[in-house]
Amino acid sequence: MSAAPSSGPHTAAAVIARALKARGVDRVFGLCGGHIMPIWMALDAQGIGIVDVRDERAAVYMAHAYGETSGRPGIALVTAGPGVTNATTGIANAHVARAPVVVLSGTAPQPQMHRGALQDLDHVGLLRGITRLARTVRVPAQVPQALDEAFAAAVGDGGSEPGPVFIDFPTDVLRAEVPLAVQLAEHERRRPALEIAPDPAAVAQAVELIARARRPLVIGGRGARTAGLELAAFLDATGALYLDTGECKGVIRDDHPSLVNAMRGAVMGDADLVVTVGRKLDFQLGYGSPAIFGAPAWLRIADNAAELRDNRRGEAELFATPRRALHALTAAMGKRENAIDLDWQQRLRRGHAERSSQLAASMATAPDGADGFMHPNRLLHEVQRAIGDDATVIADGGDFLSFARVGMRCSAYLDPGALGCIGVGTPFGIGAALALPGKTVAVLTGDGAFGFNAMELDTAVRHRVPVLVVVANNGAWQIEVHDQTTTHGKVVGTRLQRADHAAMARAFGAHGERVEHTSALPAALARALEAVRAGRPALLDVLVSGEPKSSDAKSGLAWVPDLQPLAAWDALERDWRAGPSA
């Protein structure tokens, strides 16, 4: 039998709680369990808020969104065994998104390990491939240093890639005392993020590329989030055109003249210089293939190698904190004239303005479908009018996410990201709303995606999280079962019912309304936002038509709806099959 829990000030659990508080942690997202009770109790004793959730996956999602929107790592606390396995999807999502998350857990007492103890599982072996650091701390004296290392790894200090870290502690270690000699202030001190200055020689090389470029394009990524002012100044100074991505939507305002999202395909194909700012060239950008980008020069800017040289190497590469690199480039350009093709620049700007105006007009007047239900774009138009352009938007789902990504304006944005992990919407919204008190946070989700974590509405109610959740309910999720007895393999199956999600919200104590007609939507939005301003979560269950398809759904190619995507992907496949040119 294990010793009774100790509540002394020098137990490992108490040291962990003090270290979190010293680093500015004000809340932890988790689900209670026996293996983590010492930490849970120590956090409470330190006055650190605990947001208790309904599923560990949601705890990590909330920590993810909290970290991305607060600027400091989000903390999740999950118990052993199924607590960790439940959390694994959230950890994998943070891994792909490069989100700063620290996940803490417990494990069986050391004398009971490998003997069939309750929830005895090799957590570290399970998670090593999807974390920046995974470690079991078996010696109480190593607790302070291990936490220090975990926080540094999560934020990518020193030029490593940021992302989730995982540390667990046997319960006998949590109850043991940490020697006073190793409880050093240096391990608890809140430290500013390390910044990397750009190499002057690399800056000079990059300036030459920029100065002679006639059709320069900047693509923002994760690295642009903390470089908004410097990025805007760089775009103004160089006249380069700009594309945002889901990693940095809202960093550059929608009316900035350089932003040409509506001409995405054309500008990527025409550019003779492409500058990436903390952005991987993943599938959403065609891996940087000549089939999509032609033959531009590349300038890569990033504070970690993973975003600096994946798929395409740069003629110049700036390994530096992106905001410092952009500031240095703008300063080095000075009053130097560039060679930009003004006709090209203005043509794409006009094209973007025209397409954007057409989209806005079509959203405002989008007719109901033949099934009598609202068009998703009309729903988004009314939401935009209600929340304004300065809200934080969380988009989730399949096709509805694509409508929202294209149609919504916002100051900050999160979505499932490159892992495509639908179901993040409600927990992301809770994490973001807690990180951004006083700011409107709106979750825009399809009904299928909402179902993954719908129970977290209960969490929002219990913790009085003022978040708006709008469910686009088209009942369109269908399991395809092919009838092999027919010649063409006819698809038979069942669709989701148009369940009354608003009734569920009311059952939990949230404000909930079902909206069946467009005419009722503005007033319903006003009532929902009034509830949010009063500190309550609110949900609108809006019946929408399942007939409209987004450009992504039609093409199967995200981010480049105007590129004749099927032809582009055929060309990309030919590149892969052909191999190196002779």
pLDDT of amino acid 482: 53
pLDDT of amino acid 574: 60
**Does residue 492 sit in the same domain as residue 393?**
yes
Pinpoint the alpha helices (H) of 162-310: 171-175, 200-212, 228-238, 264-270, 290-293
> Cα(170)–Cα(579) distance, rounded to whole angstroms?
51
Contact 426, 464 (CB under 8 A): no
Q: Which of 293, 317, 351 is the last residue of a domain?
A: 351
> Cα(425)–Cα(434) distance, rounded to whole angstroms?
14
Looking up residue 504, the CATH number of its domain turns out to be 3.40.50.970
pLDDT of amino acid 125: 95
The total domain count for the chain is 3
Looking up residue 214, the CATH number of its domain turns out to be 3.40.50.1220
pLDDT of amino acid 174: 97
Determine whether 211 is exposed, middle or buried from the number of CB atoms within 10 Å of its CB (0-12, 13-18, 19+): middle
**Does residue 30 sit in the same domain as residue 120?**
yes
DSSP-derived secondary structure letter, 370: T
pLDDT in tens, 240-290: 999 999 999 999 999 999 999 999 999 999 999 999 999 999 999 999 999
Q: From 131, 90, 150, select the one nearest 428 (Cα to Cα).
A: 90
Residue 193 resides in a domain: no
Q: Which of 155, 187, 219 is the last residue of a domain?
A: 187
Residue 295 resides in a domain: yes
> Cα(563)–Cα(561) distance, rounded to whole angstroms?
6
pLDDT of amino acid 193: 79
Residue 576 resides in a domain: no
pLDDT of amino acid 109: 85
**Does residue 241 sit in the same domain as residue 269?**
yes
Residue 562 resides in a domain: no
pLDDT of amino acid 354: 97
Q: For residue 140, what are the contacts with CB-CB under 8 A and spacing of at least 6?
A: 12, 173, 176, 177, 178, 179
**Does residue 396 sit in the same domain as residue 516?**
yes
Q: Is the pLDDT of residue 481 over 70?
A: no
**Does residue 100 sit in the same domain as residue 162?**
yes
Residues catalogued as catalytic: 480
Lowest-pLDDT range of 248-252, 406-410, 535-539, 559-563: 559-563
Q: What is the mean predicted confidence (pLDDT) over 54-61?
A: 98
pTM exceeds 0.85 for this model:
yes
Residue 568 resides in a domain: no
pLDDT of amino acid 118: 75
pLDDT in tens, 173-208: 999 999 999 998 888 788 887 899 999 999 999 999
Q: Is the pLDDT of residue 313 over 90?
A: yes
pLDDT of amino acid 5: 45
**Does residue 175 sit in the same domain as residue 43?**
yes
**Does residue 205 sit in the same domain as residue 183?**
no
- The rounded percent of the chain whose pLDDT value lies above 70 is 90
Q: Is the pLDDT of residue 91 over 80?
A: yes
Q: From 132, 48, 51, 36, select the one nearest 84 (Cα to Cα).
A: 36
Q: What range does the domain containing 387 cover? A: 366-555
Residue 572 resides in a domain: no
**Does residue 306 sit in the same domain as residue 384?**
no
**Does residue 316 sit in the same domain as residue 378?**
no
Q: Is the pLDDT of residue 309 over 50?
A: yes
pLDDT in tens, 416-453: 999 999 999 999 999 999 999 999 999 999 999 999 99
Residue 116's CB is within 10 A of a number of other CB atoms, namely: 8
**Does residue 239 sit in the same domain as residue 116?**
no
Residue 573 resides in a domain: no
DSSP 79-97: -STHHHHHHHHHHHHHHHH
Q: Is the pLDDT of residue 411 over 80?
A: yes
Q: Is the pLDDT of residue 496 over 80?
A: no
Q: Which of 133, 158, 187 is the last residue of a domain?
A: 187
**Does residue 39 sit in the same domain as residue 111?**
yes
pLDDT in tens, 138-170: 999 999 999 999 999 999 987 899 999 999 999
Q: What is the mean predicted confidence (pLDDT) over 484-508?
A: 76
On average, the pLDDT of the chain sits at: 91
pLDDT of amino acid 190: 80
**Does residue 166 sit in the same domain as residue 271?**
no
Residue 195 resides in a domain: no
Q: Is the pLDDT of residue 391 over 90?
A: yes
